[in-house]
């Protein structure tokens, strides 16, 4: 059971959180600007989307993560756990606040460990959406229009991952 000390020093309670917030805000601003000009999508596995993506399973993948706006992930066929070579990529994404989106193609994929570690989930099939929303909440879930132009799919991914706490639409 985690039994960690609570930060009590001035450095731990004031300076470090403020530095973290500033760093996160700066990265977000840079990423937002870059994603408008030239969005970069990384991928782990076969996404099935008609999008130009950077294959992060290639050598040097973890080093490329920080240049991505989003990493799209799919559950590899016939594999129960997270493929070991993907772990450094996913860890790099966590360290650099790069959102990770699992493309869910079947309800059983929600039981896969990948579904437990990504920041967001997306579906292309409307009937799956309620189950995915039950699993991950409405704010972390979106439907991507199958067959829509790459630009729209990219915009949908950025819209899904761009706002932490969106105001609910009426």
Count Cβ atoms below 10 Å from residue 64 Cβ, excluding itself.
17
- Which CB sits closer to another protein, 24 or 36? 24
- Which CB sits closer to another protein, 37 or 84? 84
- Which CB sits closer to another protein, 36 or 91? 91
Which among 134, 159, 165 is positioned nearest to 144, based on CA atoms?
Answer: 159
Residue numbers at the binding site for another protein (CB under 8 A): 1-9, 13, 20, 23-24, 81-82, 84, 87, 90-91, 94-97, 99, 113, 115-119, 133-140, 164-165, 167-170
Q: Token pair 């993560």 is at which residue?
A: 65
Residue ranges of alpha helices (H) inside the chain are 10, 16-37, 61-64, 86-95, 113-117, 129-136, 150-162
CB of 71 to another protein, least distance (A): 12
CB of 21 to another protein, least distance (A): 10
Q: Token pair 């066929």 is at which residue?
A: 77
As beta bridge partners, residue 71 has 42, 100
How would you classify the pairing of strands 70-73 and 41-44?
Answer: parallel
Give the whole-angstrom CA distance, residue 120 versus residue 161: 7
Q: Residue 11: exposed, middle, or buried by beta-carbon count in 10 A (0-12, 13-18, 19+)?
A: exposed
CB of 93 to another protein, least distance (A): 9
Structure token pair of residue 55: 């294959």
Residues in the chain: 170
- Which CB sits closer to another protein, 116 or 159? 116
CB of 144 to another protein, least distance (A): 19
CB of 119 to another protein, least distance (A): 5
- Which CB sits closer to another protein, 8 or 77? 8
């Amino acid at each position: 059971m985690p039994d960690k000390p609570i930060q009590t020093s001035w450095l731990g309670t004031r300076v470090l959180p403020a530095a973290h917030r500033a760093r996160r805000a700066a990265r977000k601003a840079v990423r937002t600007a870059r994603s408008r000009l030239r969005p970069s999508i990384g991928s782990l596995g076969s996404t099935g989307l008609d999008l130009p993506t950077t294959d992060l399973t290639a050598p040097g993948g973890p080093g490329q993560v920080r240049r991505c706006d989003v990493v799209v992930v799919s559950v590899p066929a016939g594999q129960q756990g997270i493929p070991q070579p993907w772990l450094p990529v996913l860890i790099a994404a966590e360290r650099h606040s790069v959102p990770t989106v699992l493309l869910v193609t079947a309800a059983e994929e929600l039981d896969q460990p990948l579904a437990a570690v990504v920041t967001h989930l997306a579906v292309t099939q409307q009937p799956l959406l309620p189950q995915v929303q039950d699993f991950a909440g409405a704010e972390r879930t979106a439907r991507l229009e199958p067959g829509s132009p790459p630009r729209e799919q990219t915009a949908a991914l950025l819209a899904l991952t761009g706002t932490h706490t969106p105001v609910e639409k009426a």
